[in-house]
Amino acid sequence: DTAVSQTPKYLVTQMGNDKSIKCEQNLGHDTMYWYKQDSKKFLKIMFSYNNKELIINETVPNRFSPKSPDKAHLNLHINSLELGDSAVYFCASSQLPGHTNYGYTFGSGTRLTVV
Amino acid sequence: AQSVTQLGSHVSVSEGALVLLRCNYSSSVPPYLFWYVQYPNQGLQLLLKYTSAATLVKGINGFEAEFKKSETSFHLTKPSAHMSDAAEYFCAVSDKNTGFQKLVFGTGTRLLVSP
């Protein structure tokens, strides 16, 4: 029944490694997002995809590459991990504005720790 | 660009007291507004949203918020705090005018509830 599911929930890795986070939504939403929450709890958008097309890329380093194989999935691959990448990454989905159920649904987050 | 300001990074109340968390938005036109709650080590849960229907919006867990265009505010209230309300609360805004949306968050307010 989970609406937006992310895996893994926790990820501990060494600097320089490459890792991926997966996200799936079963709400039939058209748009999916990646948000980053830093150590001070500040939430900032990283990417947005609408029906597999990249819409928003908020000046995120090239080491971060999102991929959307279909509109229900949005994955995040991170190359050459750095200490500063340690954060909680949230996936979210939404309908377009004007839809009766317009709103954003978030996954439970992936806590990434780079050591 | 739209933004939200949450006054007070921490708010402390006694159990049974009124909860008031402040949020002011900056937008050229009345936007969509949201309040989310985040319990420790969990994801973001939608409390309520304003999408240009009634200005007084009722949400889950006894919370409500009133949209006041003249004050550009969307403050969150609850008549009587419960210990289980202790969490981080985020106000967020999205712009009605753009075709594709992104949710912009405030810096969050931590609600502390004492017995």
- Token pair recorded at residue B22: 């402040």
**A97/B32 Cβ within 8 A:** yes
A28-52 pLDDT tens trace: 998 999 999 999 999 999 999 988 8
Of A40, A55, A104, the CB nearest to B103: A104
pLDDT of residue B97: 65
For residue A43, the chain B residues in CB contact (below 8 A) are: 44, 90, 105, 108
In 3D, which of B71, B86, B94 has the Cα closest to residue B12? B86
What is the chain A residue with the closest CA to B45? A106
In 3D, which of A43, A14, A34, A21 has the Cα closest to residue A94? A34
Query: From first to last of its 115 residues, what are the pLDDT tens digits of chain A?
Result: 669 999 999 999 999 999 999 999 999 998 999 999 999 999 999 999 988 888 888 888 999 999 999 999 999 999 999 999 999 999 999 987 777 777 899 999 999 999 9
d(CA A35, CA A40): 14
Q: Distance from B107 to chain A by nearest Cα, in Å?
A: 6
